[in-house]
Amino acid sequence: MIADLPPGLILILGALVAPVIPAGLRRFYILALPMLALWQLLALPAGVHGQVEMFGQMLIFLRVDPLAEAFGIIFLIAAFIAAIYGWHEEEALQHVSALIYAGAAVGAVFAGDLVTLFIFWELTAIASVFLIWARRTERAYWSGMRYLVIQIGSGVILLAGIVLHYHATGSIAFGALGLSSPATALIFIAFGIKCAFPLLHNWLQDSYPEATVFGAVVLSAFTTKMAVYALARGFAGTEILIWIGAVMTVFPIFYAVIEDDLRRVLAYSLNIQLGFMVVGVGIGTELALNGAVAHAFTHILYKALLFMSIGAVLYRTGTAKASELGGLWKSMPMTAVFCLVGCASISAVPLFSGFVSKSLILSAAGKGGHLIPWLMLLTASAGVLAYSALKIPFFAFFAHDSGKRPAEAPASMLIAMGLAAVLSVGIGVWPAGLHALLPFPVDYHTYTASHVLTQMQLLLFGALGFAVLMRNRLYPHQLPATNLDSDWLYRRVCPAVLRFARDMVRRAHGNVLRRVGVRLQRFIATVYRHHGPQGALARTWPAGSMVLWVAVLLCITLIFSYVE
């Protein structure tokens, strides 16, 4: 392989060729690209490669180290699984967008400087929005527009931070930054937007559920985890991230419980799982950073599995609403089984991948003495069972019989789900395989009695709470309704404020015009009164009077001349 060829560039350049390849061969070509890029990644030696001088600065397109490698490997695995899942998609647009999007995310994790990071940062936004627009509904169009504004806005803030940082330090190196200046604060905010920090998060719930079946799976893998990587690279050990992440794990639980759209439930769940990663980055120890990277790795797999299973339901039934589903296990048993595997993984059931990664973060929080965040993480770990692991399969496959008897998911979807499920179980059974990919040496035993017992207690109490609520009909009814979230501020309040300001300006403008009109009319009337046919200045004056006035003016002029 070419030593200086970035793996992400293989996907990006390969995507540009895909539309001209005949449809029959295109599917195999799209499958081959992630495999080729993964082969290139694994063959790369550690160090800095792919340097290009531009505008007097050295841009580094390929910095290979354990942190970048771990994210690069899982991104390419996710791209391969998504390509299998989208095998049935004949539209080239979605495949091209997905490949460029994945390639840009891979490019970002290997970027060695902030300018290169910015280039790929913006490319992910531009490429991914087409996965939303490809659904071709009015809701998808406007959701995509909001998504694009927010994502591009994140890039603009990032660029402003880079410019200020370069002006202050003379460096564009992408390394440990810390919250030490206004420049790094802007960069931190840019990362936070894409990581869906609280109050900056709702672009995720607004856009992902509006994407196509294939697009939602792809979207779930890259943008937010790219942001987690950026935080781990630039802001590891930043204490405020502990509290931001802890809040992220707790506040969306309520929304996930009451939400009717199961893909939106998964979007809220995604936000909660990101909180675990952010806490790990904030703690900043080797154990915590290993946990953050491990959780990003496992989360991409099981979250994609859940989006794939609910996507298959949407593909076959035309809906992902909990209020319209139920009893699908009878006709979609394999999809139901794969969904249960994803739910077991996200709930951190022992022998599934989530248990391996979450235990690292929980242990790091406990050993670091972060008691309140640790308790918040435990609460979220118990809550995940009620809002996701039990709710999604229960209402989609096992609740009241909706009468729908769709066909099982297409074979390509089942293969993709099966591959993600095997990897999720494999990591749970053999944690050492994942530990070998982490950026720091791992001296940690996953399956100790205390870890397993604590997690099983959380799961049992979570299941008991769900059962009690369902039996006593206290669990929120799944109703087709719109739930208000922070997006209410920019979707309702901001437009209302702008309309109010517009009306105020219009009224002020009208008042000014009226006052000017009245004064202009008065001026015209005054001029007409003096210069009109009957005005004093329009009358005929005797010659003698005019001579007198000329003499007076001449005298005044002479007096002034004499005075001077």
**Partners of residue 173 on adjacent β-strands:** 113
Contact 245, 237 (CB under 8 A): no
Task: Give the residues across from 62 on adjacent strands.
Answer: 49
3-state secondary structure 17-58: HHHHCCHHHHHHHHHHHHHHHHHHHHHCCCEEEEEEEECCEE
Give the pLDDT of residue 451: 84
Q: How much is the average pLDDT of 114-128?
A: 95
Does the pLDDT value for residue 179 go beyond 70? yes
Question: Does the CA dihedral 461-462-463-464 come out positive or negative?
Answer: positive
> Is the predicted pLDDT of residue 67 greater than 60, yes or no?
yes
- 261-270, 344-353, 541-550: least confidently modelled range: 541-550
Q: Span 287-305, mean pLDDT?
A: 96
The residue ranges of DSSP E strands in 364-480, in sequence order, are none
pLDDT of residue 499: 82
Quick check: 30 pLDDT over 60? yes
Mean pLDDT within 506-511: 86
For range 299-308, the mean pLDDT = 96
Who's near 201: CB < 8 A, 6+ residues apart?
A: 248, 252, 271, 486
How is residue 471 annotated by DSSP?
A: H
What is the residue-averaged pLDDT of the chain? 89
Give yes or no for a contact between 192 and 472, defined as CB atoms under 8 angstroms apart. no
d(CA 97, CA 82): 12
Q: Is the pLDDT of residue 455 over 80?
A: yes
Q: Is the pLDDT of residue 240 over 90?
A: yes
* Residue 54: strand pairing partners: 57
E strand or H helix at 287, and its extent?
helix 286-317
Q: What is the mean pLDDT of residues 476-493?
A: 64
Evaluate if residue 532 carries a pLDDT over 70. Answer: no
Q: Which residues are bridge partners to 57 per DSSP?
A: 54
Run of H or E including 361: helix 353-367
Region 453-468 average pLDDT: 80
Could you report the per-residue pLDDT of 220-235, keeping only the tens digit for each?
Answer: 999 999 999 999 999 9
92 pLDDT above the threshold of 60:
yes
Binned at pLDDT 50, 70 and 90, residue 317 comes out as very high
Most trustworthy range by pLDDT among 45-49, 125-129, 201-205, 532-536:
125-129
Q: What is the mean pLDDT of residues 482-503?
A: 72
Q: Which ranges in 385-448 belong to alpha helices (H)?
A: 391-393, 411-429, 431-435
pTM of the model: 0.86
Taken in order 25, 76, 177, 126, the sign of the CA dihedral is positive
Q: Give the pLDDT mean for 162-167.
A: 95
**Ranges of H-type helices in 134-261:** 138-169, 182-194, 202-207, 213-219, 223-234, 240-250, 252-258
Nearest of 128, 124, 149, 135 to residue 487 by alpha carbon: 149
Instruction: Provide mean pLDDT across the span 253-259.
Output: 80
pLDDT tens sequence across 387-439: 676 788 888 898 778 888 999 999 999 999 999 999 999 999 999 999 999 99
Give me the count of residues in the chain.
564
Q: Is pLDDT at 456 greater than 90 in this prediction?
A: no
Cα–Cα distance between 215 and 358 in angstroms, integer? 27
Residue 331 pLDDT = 92
In whole angstroms, give the CA distance from residue 303 to residue 82: 12
Report the 10 Å Cβ neighbour count for 63: 24
What residue type is 175 in one-letter code?
A: G
Give me the percent of the chain exceeding a pLDDT of 70.
92
Between CA 277 and CA 357 the distance in angstroms is: 10
Written as one letter, the residue type at 398 is: F
